[in-house]
Amino acid sequence: METEIKIFEDIEALNNAFTEWLKEILAQKEVVTLALSGGSTPKSLFRYWAEEHRDDIEWGKIRFFWGDERCVGPTDEQSNYRMARENLFDFIPVSEKQIFHIHGEDDPTSEANRYGEIISRATDSIEGMPAFDIVMLGMGDDGHTASIFPHEIDLWDNGHVCVVGTHPDSGQKRISLSGRVINNARHVAFLVTGEAKADKVREI
């Protein structure tokens, strides 16, 4: 996968550039599988889409998934699904059949297996692994992405589609795409903002 780093003046410029890039991909395909991320930067992007691009993005072509989710219910304030619902899905023309969310309230291991099977059925396969068209990711201050933390970095090369990670401080369980699935995507977009993460981006 070719790596390209783009630096934008502000989050508005980032949102605009990502949106135009998404439109280009949608113009080339009948169906686009997109794994969403949680966090403040995606939240800003979702609001931008809802407010400025409700009618000019081909929403009907997108199948929405998640790169990770906390093991909480869908109405919990920590839920990535809830964040996307309240900032995007409630305002754009999409059907429930396009939205494939992680059931964070269920047993983590069982849900990781269930979600992995759904992803495998709904996405293309490259070299025996699911291949999303786009995986959207953020990055924590410690350099973690999705819900694979530095103390569990072996999960990155796990052979499963989805894995169960544990937050190093809270002990909270999370369900995440494995690194092998992330790396198998046609496009992986890291959306990172803020000076606090600049040094970590340079390091990576």
Other C-beta atoms closer than 10 Å to the C-beta of 93 total 11
95 φ/ψ angles, rounded to the nearest 5 degrees: -100, 160
The ranges assigned to domains in the chain are 34-203
Report how far apart, in Å, the C-alpha atoms of 105 and of each of 36, 50, 115 are: 19, 27, 13
Which pLDDT does position 7 carry in this prediction?
76
The per-residue pLDDT string of the chain (204 residues; one tens digit each, 9 = 90 and over) reads 566 767 777 899 999 999 999 999 999 999 999 999 998 899 999 999 999 999 999 999 999 999 999 999 999 999 999 999 999 999 999 999 999 999 999 999 999 999 999 999 999 999 999 999 999 998 766 556 788 887 888 888 888 999 999 998 899 999 999 999 999 999 999 887 765 555 555 554
- DSSP code of residue 9: S
Instruction: Please give the C-alpha separations between residue 99 and each of 4, 96, 143, 193, in angstroms, as whole numbers.
Output: 29, 5, 28, 26
Q: What is the C-alpha to C-alpha distance for residues 37 and 70, in angstroms, rounded to an integer?
A: 11
pLDDT at 158: 87
Helix (H, G, I), strand (E, B) or coil at 15: helix
Pick the CATH number of 34-203 from 3.40.1230.10, 3.40.50.720, 3.40.50.1360, 3.30.420.40: 3.40.50.1360
**DSSP states of 157-188 as a string?**
G-SSSEEEEE-TTT--EEEEE-HHHHHHSSEE
* pLDDT attached to residue 204: 45
CA distance 94 to 96: 7
The per-residue DSSP string of 77-145 comes to: TT-HHHHHHHHTGGGS---GGGB----TTS-HHHHHHHHHHHHHHHSEEETTEEE-SEEEE---TTS-B
The rounded distance, in Å, linking the Cα atoms of 34 and 136 is 7
- What is the residue-wise DSSP string for 18-80? HHHHHHHHHHH-S-EEEEE--SHHHHHHHHHHHHH-TTTS-GGGEEEEESEEESS-TTSTT-H
Q: What is the pLDDT of residue 73?
A: 98
- Cβ atoms within 10 Å of 129's Cβ, excluding its own: 18
In this prediction, residue 195 carries a pLDDT of 59
